[in-house]
Structure 1
Amino acid sequence: MQNPTSADIQRVREFLLDLQARICAGLEQRELQSGGTAQFEIDDWERPEGGGGRSRVLQNGTVIEKGGVMFSHINISKLPASATERHPQIAGAKAQALGVSLVIHPKNPNVPTSHANVRLFVAEPEGQDPIWWFGGGFDLTPFYPDDADIVAWHQKAHDLCAPFGDSVYAEHKKWCDDYFYLKHRDEQRGVGGLFFDDLNQWDFETCFQYIQAVGNGYLDAILPIFQRHQNQPYSQAQREFQLYRRGRYVEYNLVYDRGTLFGLQTGGRIESILVSMPPLAAWSYRPEWDEDSTEKRLTDYYLKPHDWLTEHQ
């Protein structure tokens, strides 16, 4: 297996910083076209152990209520349990991790919350060759689902996977469905997309090309959804349902998300780790929805795994 050189890692870093900038520019354009003026603020930071990052956050926009697009490249002197549970052979090793992770919480309940992440991890066990892998994906969490949005989202995921093998989309879609699952609620977090980890079965260059396709695919998939729904009228009841469903997002990120746990266990920058939290969320005690309501159909139908591309041909 080809091991990444320092030049390879630098190329990944340059792509990630460019991806962050392009995603922020694309989302700011959505704000401008809706009459807003909010922009992503830039916050560069360093950590004592080594490395740092660039956090970009937009708050109180016309279209985006809160969005964080975070780049980090950190050095780790001793890997924590969250990284070594599945890889005991790297326990205690030094490592570096770099990636872009984002969560966008739109203001309009008709626009889904969206998440994406692409990352590279390189561990250096003493006396051994480096151990590396890529990870990432993107997923969609609607409140008032639009079938055309979901199909287009999955079609983009399918198409970007196709050059890398006939089975990649199906495997990484299933991984996404399995990973973004709230066991205590018995429901998916959203309508899925792609998720993968430990990606090193191809050579380094092919793996790198794949995460570039995934990162670029997020922007291509989400911008048309914003354009279709960002100015759509909504009621106060729909806004309240959005806040109620955001509570599920908080539950998932704090209870199950490995990225959150990794950040906390490595002494990460807490503001950057928890930037995925929505600015407002709500919990109601056993709310009841009418059996034939759109709200009830969200959990009864949409928050179950589906083969979206064949069911909606």
Structure 2
Amino acid sequence: MNESISHPGSEIAQVRPWLIALQQSIVDALEQVEEAEQGSIGFVREPWQKAAHEPLQGDGITCIIEGGAVFERAGCGFSHVHGAALPPSATQKRPELAGAGFEALGVSLVFHPRNPYVPTVHMNVRMIAAQTAQGQTVSWFGGGMDLTPYYAFEEDAVHFHQTCRASVQAFGDSLYPRYKTWCDDYFYLKHRDEQRGIGGIFYDDVTELGFAGGFAMMQSVGSHFLKAYLPIVQRRMHMPYGERERDFQLYRRGRYVEFNLVFDRGTHFGLQSGGRTESILLSMPPQAHWAYQKTYEAGSPEAQLTQQFLIRRDWL
């Protein structure tokens, strides 16, 4: 395994400013979408720093829209934290690093649109560096993006997956099919035997590219996010909808909550390591609901989503 073992300070000095710039570029783009709509509001920007007495140290910037014209809730956070011991969620595949000191930094976002025809989206890019018992520093990368539609549009799914493939194409022809499968496997609600959405790409614990390759792939994935999502937003944000569509959107959001709280490693990492709760849970939708054994008539748009879209498909 060609792990990146070098000087963490110099690596983090490269990654941190790029992540902050990525966050700002995404926030700026969404604010332009909001500003084009009457009655829009911008992001609230909240820099934060962990208190000196807390077990996890570090800082970050949380940017969030609540009650926007286009996005009912949109959170985009940068964080850079360090602690004395990696939490269990980060050492599932690396038991040799259990209890190792670490640094973790990344950008994570979830956007919940107001219009049910616009899908929810998630993106995350991150780097973790840990100290081995032998005193070596090992760093690895993770990230990806995935789409959770409430109504099925084939062209949106194809566009999203084409852009996901383009984001990793330069690093090997095998990566998109591997990361697409990884995404399908990861964003899966085991207790319901159901996919969370139509997927995208997901990767974790990537070391084989070394630091330079891993950072370059992080940059490519992050830079492709707006290309993957904004065209879909612009196609769907003005489509008329009613109470039926809104009800279905809130019902499907319940699945999103279930996944994030029960299965998501990023949520578990943040909570287990003593991270900032408000920032960790910015992915939660502002409203969601549940119903007992809810069903939809055959051939309806709602049934089409679960029967034809929330299954594992080759979108290309």
Same fold (TM over 0.5): yes
CA contact (8 A) 2:47 2:60 kept: yes
- The structural deviation recorded for 1:4 is 4.4
| Distance (Å, rounded) in 2 between the aligned partners of 1:3 and 1:80 | 21
In the alignment, which of 26, 34, 39 is matched to residue 37 of structure 2? Answer: 34
- Equivalents in 2 of 1:198, 1:288: separation in Å? 39
Tell me, in whole angstroms, the C-alpha distance in 2 between the residues paired with 1:132 and 1:7. 12
CA distance in 2, matches of 1:37, 1:295: 29
Q: Deviations over 1:160-210 (max 9, x none)?
A: 221111101000000000000001111110001000001110121111110
Q: CA RMSD in A?
A: 1.0
1:9 maps to amino acid: I
Residue 199, structure 1, aligned to residue 206, structure 2: yes
Aligned to 1:125: 132
2:96 is matched with 89
1:266 to 259, 273, 293: 273
Distance in 1 between residues matched to 2:31 and 2:98, nearest whole Å: 41
Contact 1:36–1:63 under 8 Å retained in 2:
no
1:3 paired with 2:12, answer no
% of aligned pairs identical? 49
Point out the more displaced range, 85-94 or 240-249: 85-94
TM superposition score normalised by structure 1: 0.96
How far 1:126 moved relative to its partner?
Answer: 3.6
What corresponds to 1:25 in structure 2?
Answer: 28
**Using the alignment, how far apart are the partners of 2:87 and 2:19 within structure 1?**
24
Number of paired residues?
Answer: 309
Deviation of 1:85 after TM superposition, in Å, equals: 2.3
The alignment's TM-score, normalised by the length of structure 2, stands at 0.96
What are the superposed Cα offsets for residues 247-306 of structure 1, whole Å, 9 maximum, x if unpaired? Answer: 000000000000001111001111011111000001011112001111011111100110
Does structure 2 retain, via aligned residues, the 8 Å contact 1:64–1:105? yes
Displaced runs of 4 or more, over 6 A: none
Per-residue deviation, 1:128: 2.7
Specify the code of the residue in structure 1 equivalent to 2:296. W
The equivalent of 1:275 in structure 2 is 282
- The one-letter amino acid paired with 1:306 is R
The answer for unaligned runs of 5 or more in structure 1 is none
Contact (CA 8 Å) 2:152, 2:304: kept in 1 or not? Answer: no
Query: Which consecutive unaligned segments of at least 5 residues does structure 2 have?
Result: none
Note the C-alpha offset of 1:10: 1.2
User: Which residue is 1:79 aligned to?
Assistant: 86
Tell me the distance in 2 between the aligned counterparts of 1:96 and 1:259.
14
SS of 1:308 mapped into structure 2: coil
2: CA distance between counterparts of 1:56 and 1:229? Answer: 24
Match of 1:213 in 2: 220
